[in-house]
Amino acid sequence: MSVMRKALFSLFVLGLAAGPVLVAAELVEQIVVRVNDRLITQSEFDRRLALAAKAPNHPTDLAEMQKAVLEDLIREKLLDERAKELSVVATDEEVEIAVARVKQQYNLTSDAEFDASLAQSGMTRDELKRQMRETITLQKVIGRDVTSKMDQSDDALRTEYERRKEQFYVVPESAHVAEIVRKFSPSDAEARQQAVGVVEEIRVKIKGGAAFADLAKESSEGITSARGGDLGVVNKGELVEALDAAVFVTPAEEYPAPALLPDSIHLFHVTDRKAAGFKPFSEVKDDLRKRIADEMYEKRFTEYMDKLRRDAFVKIYVPELARLEEKKAS
């Protein structure tokens, strides 16, 4: 719902020039935009501008803010008209629940605190309820016309899985690895040769049937010696390059050739080696649904609003604003 709210009710700043006026009794009101039979007036626009000026992370470029405010208000008028066509309304209970959620969100425990907080924002409780009613109503329209028609069936998800599995669900080659390590000083050639000799003796013992874990406990100078040299399951690419190359040698070997580093020599026991692949669809289906929900919603919502706009009569009376829309269309 946060994505939907962002799409529908983002706030922006817009400067307006003179335009036609609507005369009704003692009120003279400038018309900014006409959307079918609905009007966006100067005062309505000014209220949104005041909110936009206080909104966090609002666009700093005036033209961008102008285009965004215009689009936001036009969308709301189109959705409001669609709500009337569908006979969609927010119930009193839904409004009260939404208001209670606002109170809880801001930790306002009493009605007096709530009213005071609203007053600081230049709003009354009745105005908040009216806004909540409008918001819930428009969300219902989107739910019926957009969200409910988003295909997230298993067949659709499988298609997305095949398209995205290399991006999200790669399982690297892996193996269960144990090690025997002998260390030496990089500047001591004799110690290096001795370490190599010890490892060669260990290899002979392994060929003779000695258990790798027992030899690791006896001879390894690595931190894993107490547990028989066990490193657990290792993915390709996790070890330093020389060790990784030794473990994941091609073709696979249970006891690959020792890996010689500047200050140590490593002998590995490699078992349960598994080729690279992908996590199965059944395991990632829920994650995939979450990943694509926002993206799918944005696409469907944009297409839906574009159609409503094409089918509607929209007249922008402010020349500067009309030019911004022309730039957007181009």
Task: Label residue 170 by pLDDT band (50, 70, 90).
Answer: very high
CA distance 13 to 54: 10
Average pLDDT score over residue span 23-43: 77
Task: Label residue 5 by pLDDT band (50, 70, 90).
Answer: very low
- Residue 13, pLDDT > 50, answer no
CA distance 116 to 99: 15
Least confident of 58-62, 181-185, 198-202: 58-62
Percent over 70 (pLDDT), the chain: 90
212 and 269 Cβ atoms separated by less than 8 Å: yes
CA distance 154 to 156: 5
CA distance 32 to 263: 77
Higher confidence at residue 127 or residue 51? 127
Which pLDDT value is given to residue 215?
Answer: 97
Percent over 90 (pLDDT), the chain: 60
Which pLDDT value is given to residue 182?
Answer: 97
β-strands 170-171, 277-278: how paired?
A: antiparallel
Specify the DSSP class assigned to residue 55: S
Which pLDDT value is given to residue 275?
Answer: 94
Average pLDDT score over residue span 304-316: 93
Which pLDDT value is given to residue 329?
Answer: 62
234 and 215 Cβ atoms separated by less than 8 Å: no
Average pLDDT score over residue span 34-60: 81
Residue 98, Cβ neighbours under 10 Å: how many? 17
- Residue 250, pLDDT > 70, answer yes
Most confident of 58-62, 89-93, 150-154: 89-93
Average pLDDT score over residue span 231-252: 95
Task: Label residue 273 by pLDDT band (50, 70, 90).
Answer: very high
Which pLDDT value is given to residue 96?
Answer: 93
CA distance 100 to 110: 11
- In this structure, the chain runs to a length of 330
Read off the tokens for 246.
């030794």
Please identify which residue in the block is written with the tokens 């209970």: 93
Average pLDDT score over residue span 173-185: 97
| Domain-wise residue ranges, the chain | 2-87+146-153+285-329, 170-277
Which pLDDT value is given to residue 330?
Answer: 59
Q: What average pLDDT is seen over the chain?
A: 86
Please identify which residue in the block is written with the tokens 């289906």: 285
Least confident of 14-18, 181-185, 287-291, 319-323: 14-18
Does domain 170-277 correspond to CATH entry 3.10.50.40? Answer: yes
> With a threshold of 0.85, does the pTM exceed it?
no
Read off the tokens for 320.
């500067």
**How far is the CA of 326 from the CAs of 12, 116, 209, in angstroms?**
18, 43, 82
CA distance 102 to 100: 5
CA distance 48 to 26: 24
CA distance 209 to 218: 15
- Residue 12, pLDDT > 50, answer no
Average pLDDT score over residue span 20-37: 67
- Residue 26, pLDDT > 70, answer no
Higher confidence at residue 163 or residue 64? 163
In 3D, which of 114, 142, 140, 139 has the Cα closest to residue 128?
114
- Residue 21, pLDDT > 60, answer no
